[in-house]
Amino acid sequence: MDLFPAAASVCGVGAADWRLRMSLNRAFIFLGPPGAGKGTQAKRVAQQWGLPHLSTGDMLREAVSQGSALGKIAKPIMERGELVPDDLVLKMVEERLDRKDAANGFIFDGFPRTIPQAEELDAILEGRGFGKPVVVDFVVAPDILVRRLSGRWTCSVGGEIYNVHDAPPKVPGVCDRDGGKLVQRPDDRPEVVMERLEAYERQTKPLTDFYRKLGALEQVDASLPMVDVTGALANIRQRAQGRDGRL
Ligand SMILES: [Zn+2]
């Protein structure tokens, strides 16, 4: 049970102190295949726990739109559709972690992706006095992921997302809200979905091994309903804080 969100909303200063102590120096890293719902969960718990949700994709887009020094370097690379190099991403992460709102912890979603990134991130965290990160692996059986991803259709007008299995539109192929035509992203076609999942598995296996050896890896069953996954994440967080004697 996560006592924290309710308690924090009850009163002002005392709760804020408690909240600070509870969340002290904690880096969370969410790993998971496409369709595992880790982005959604990261947003939910970031709000509940009062920690910033950091996605390197969002950070890059922000840097580009603000025209920062890093953004100016990243822009042509992204426009060519190439991957932004590790050193640039890490520089951006470092700058982001220096902002005040990240001082007591944060949630990384989709970063790191490679062992070199993970090693560098470790050094960055240590240099800033952060403890060992809590790394959560979102585990979902492949057949469930295929069902989630290949059932996904997007409105070509408003961007609403439907799932023909779990959340179908009232009229097949038509958006409930604006009558827009529903289209399937090329990425979500069943034959492509399997390839995406296999590629993810290949790329991420070394990373989960890396964090398992560090003793930092936790797993959640991401095939459960959303509210149960959120609850499991709260338990992981509480356990981690208990281990540190930070409760
Ligand atoms: Zn629509």
Binned average pLDDT, 10 residues per bin, the chain of 247 residues: 41 44 70 90 94 90 92 90 88 91 90 91 89 92 90 91 91 96 88 87 90 93 94 92 62
**Helix, strand, coil % over all residues of the chain, rounded to 5:** 55, 15, 30
In whole angstroms, what is the distance from residue 92 CA to residue 50 CA?
22
Expressed in angstroms and rounded, the spacing between residue 176 Cα and the centre of ligand 1 is 7
User: How many H-runs (helices) and E-runs (strands) does the chain carry?
Assistant: 10, 8
Expressed in angstroms and rounded, the spacing between residue 223 Cα and the centre of ligand 1 is 27
Q: What is the pTM of this model?
A: 0.78
Please list all protein residues whose beta carbon sits less than 5 angstroms from ligand 1, which is an ion.
Answer: 155, 157-158, 160, 175, 177-178, 180
In whole angstroms, what is the distance from residue 102 CA to residue 89 CA?
17
Residue 200, both tokens: 């993810």
Q: What is the sign of the dihedral through the CA atoms of 178, 179, 184 and 186?
A: negative
In whole angstroms, what is the distance from residue 230 CA to residue 52 CA?
16
The answer to whether residues 61 and 34 touch, using CB atoms and an 8 Å cutoff, is no
Expressed in angstroms and rounded, the spacing between residue 168 Cα and the centre of ligand 1 is 13
Residue 139, both tokens: 């585990």
Nearest in space to 136 (alpha carbons), one of 49, 60, 196: 49
Expressed in angstroms and rounded, the spacing between residue 54 Cα and the centre of ligand 1 is 28
